[in-house]
Amino acid sequence: MKKYIKPSKVNGTIVASASKSVAQRAIAIASMAIGQSEIISAGNSDDVLVAISVCKELGAKIEEKSDSLAISGGLSLPKVPLNLDESGLSVRMFSAIAATLDGEVVLTGHGSLLNRPMNIVENSLSPLCDYCRTNNGKLPIVVKGPFKGGEVTIDGSISSQVLTGILMASPYAQRDTVIHVDNLQSRPYIDITVGMMKYFGVDVENQNYQVFKIKSGQRYQPKTYTVEGDWSGAAFLLVAGAIAGKVKVDNLQLNSTQADKAIINALIYAGAKVSMNDNHIEVTKHQLNGFHFDAIHCPDLFPPLVALASHCEGESRILGVSRLRVKESDRAATLIEEFCKMGIDIKIEGELMIIKGSKPHSAKVSSHGDHRIAMATAVAALVGDGDVEIDGAESVAKSYPDFFEALEKVISDK
């Protein structure tokens, strides 16, 4: 699907979509809890639909209502391989959860997920269950429980998602689990996981993000849980306000532990006008200057940050390039390729991405099947010297199916 973005001003209010990262965790935990849970405002992104489908295959009963999910939890061995589609979080999370079952489970997917490295899943889970095998470091993954627990050391430098899965599975281990983590990245996502586990009745001892201890025999309790708004998707629309007019986004929690809440700091560093209250943030265009930003713990902010930096006077520097290599695309290479088509100069120096601000040109760009690339190029194109055609725009469905509708809503000169 192609989308065409012309130079436009923005002025309006939108309601943030549901956080897929939060919703996926909530659906998984509720499906493990024996009894009836309700997940409110889970959203309809592709990744959330994958989590619902997988939990149904694992034996949970899920009734999809207009704005909630009624989940009757309790897992059992699936009759077919679990298809995780293109959801990186789901495959890493459900690999560990499946290992709590007494038998063999196969997990597979398609598209970009087939090429993403799964060695870390195999290496991390193997000491904790009967076995965990990959296809030469790629999908499919085959795991066999029971989840034995004990001590394990995992590499946290590539992704925090494997740790999330092991944490969520550990209460169901045969004995206490102690997880040693080397060089953990994306710590805020672990805060989401640990906080949600606590909400559903399970305690985790976190020793400075280096050691996690979980006592066996704990069980998740059924709860009603409301999914908060998504800072990751909202970041693109807030950047739109900073470069093209004014945007207010409702349904955002300022006390959220979501990593991408850090977009506020980047907007302030760049010079945008930012105002906030308890559940919304408003960003207004102002003179924008180059900024420096550490995105090591929030790598999903790179695309909206590049869109912002492309409209700043001078150079902007974003730290954390290595975190981009194993996303839906190689986002470092993809950002350079697609923004270069619009006349934006981007280069890499070690862990730094350096963006030289300039007015984007008319161009034909590709999302490379990556939802965040589609959104970033769309936002950057709002202030330029011509129309931008985005090929593969349907990729936004992975996290924000209504993104282009939301963008259209705030465009004031249609």
Residue % of the chain over a pLDDT of 90: 93
Residues 206, 170 share a domain: yes
Q: Which of 186, 213, 240 is the last residue of a domain?
A: 213
Residues 369, 338 share a domain: yes
| DSSP per-residue letters across 82-100 | EE-TT-HHHHHHHHHHHTT
pLDDT at 135: 96
Q: What is the CATH number of the domain that holds 57?
A: 3.65.10.10
State the burial class of residue 238 (Cβ atoms within 10 Å of its Cβ: 0-12, 13-18, 19+): buried
- pLDDT per residue as tens digits for the range 239-277: 999 999 999 999 999 999 999 999 999 999 999 999 998
Q: Is residue 219 part of a domain?
A: no
Residues 189, 280 share a domain: no
Q: Is residue 221 part of a domain?
A: no
Q: Is residue 206 part of a domain?
A: yes
Residues 207, 271 share a domain: no
Residues 33, 9 share a domain: no
Q: Which domain holds residue 249?
A: 2-17+229-410
pLDDT at 279: 76
Residue given tokens 């590499």 in the structure block: 155
Q: Is residue 126 part of a domain?
A: yes
Which residues are the active-site residues? 300
Q: Is residue 218 part of a domain?
A: no
Residues 13, 68 share a domain: no
Q: Is residue 220 part of a domain?
A: no
Among candidates 406, 396, 372, which has minimal Cα distance to 45?
A: 396
Residues 204, 347 share a domain: no
Number of domains making up the chain: 2
* pLDDT higher than 60, residue 328: no
Residue % of the chain over a pLDDT of 70: 98
Cα gap 96→118, rounded to integer Å: 13
Residues 126, 44 share a domain: yes
Q: Is residue 72 part of a domain?
A: yes
Residues 29, 13 share a domain: no
pLDDT at 329: 59
CB distance 15 to 246 below 8 Å: no
State the burial class of residue 315 (Cβ atoms within 10 Å of its Cβ: 0-12, 13-18, 19+): middle
pLDDT at 326: 57
Distance of CA 145 to the CA centre of its chain: 28
Stretch 336-362: mean pLDDT: 96
pLDDT at 336: 97
CB distance 249 to 16 below 8 Å: yes
- pLDDT per residue as tens digits for the range 15-55: 999 999 999 999 999 999 999 999 999 999 999 999 999 99
Q: Which of 150, 183, 213 is the last residue of a domain?
A: 213
Output the pTM of the full model. Answer: 0.95
* pLDDT higher than 80, residue 292: yes
Residues 325, 371 share a domain: yes
Q: Is residue 370 part of a domain?
A: yes
Q: Which of 151, 185, 213 is the last residue of a domain?
A: 213
- Cβ neighbours for 197, distance < 8 A, ≥ 6 positions apart: 29, 167, 168, 171, 203, 204, 220
Residues 284, 200 share a domain: no
SS3 content of the chain, % helix, strand, coil (to 5): 35, 25, 35
Residues 117, 9 share a domain: no
